[in-house]
Amino acid sequence: MTMKHDKLKQYSIKRMENVPKRLRKEGFCPILKKLSEMADDISFDYGIDRSIRHFACSWQQEYFVDMPQSIGQAAAGILLEGEKLGHSNEAQWIANYLLEDKYKSKQEIVERCIALHTRKSFLYKLLNKTLRDDDLDKRETLGTFAHLLGYEGLFNLPDVCRYSKTVFRAMNLSIGQVD
């Protein structure tokens, strides 16, 4: 007996036609400017790379300390920002996770920072918004983490760890944003 005729081995098929696929709102950055304005904006050309360099550099000029102190400052800043946003428990977990490797090698610390930033939490959303808006008011609280993530981490990665392909994302744009 073939699979087609055997009732135990048949699979139901769900047929769908003309079902609009919804985009996840969280997965895409909001468009705040018209596309024509973004083309002239330097930060659009260099993306988060330029933003994190500017933000971390402004922190480094005023506040730079050694690595263990930097980790302590980053944890304290994350706790403060987490409390402001009502995410105290999550901020506490992130701070503890970061402080576990306080005296380990720079590579292990950087790996922790990258892991924390790529995790779905208030931290990546807040840091990305801060960098996108070039908000230097958060330099004291998020500057240390941005420095560890950027200067110590992302900009010093070996070439085998870098991904240099173009990534395309979908966005819903209004007619006004396209013009």
- Distance, in Å, from the CA atom of 81 to the CA atom of 69, rounded to the nearest integer, reads 18
**Tokens 């396209």 appear where?**
178
Q: What percent of the chain has pLDDT over 70?
A: 51
**pLDDT tens, residue by residue, 153-177:** 665 665 555 556 665 666 677 777 7
Name the band, by pLDDT with cuts 50, 70 and 90, for residue 35: very low
Task: Report the amino acid identity of residue 108.
Answer: E
What are the strands, taking DSSP E only, across the chain?
none
Residue 112: pLDDT over 70? yes
Name the band, by pLDDT with cuts 50, 70 and 90, for residue 137: confident
Looking at residue 130, its pLDDT comes to 84
Q: What is the mean pLDDT of the chain?
A: 71
Lowest mean pLDDT among 24-33, 85-94, 155-164, 170-179: 24-33
R_g of the chain computed on alpha carbons: 22
Looking at residue 83, its pLDDT comes to 93
> Which two tokens mark 84?
């402001």
Lowest mean pLDDT among 44-48, 64-68, 104-108, 125-129: 44-48
- Distance, in Å, from the CA atom of 132 to the CA atom of 124, rounded to the nearest integer, reads 12
Looking at residue 101, its pLDDT comes to 78
Do residues 59 and 143 touch, judged by C-beta distance below 8 A?
yes
- Distance, in Å, from the CA atom of 11 to the CA atom of 34, rounded to the nearest integer, reads 48
- Distance, in Å, from the CA atom of 79 to the CA atom of 93, rounded to the nearest integer, reads 9
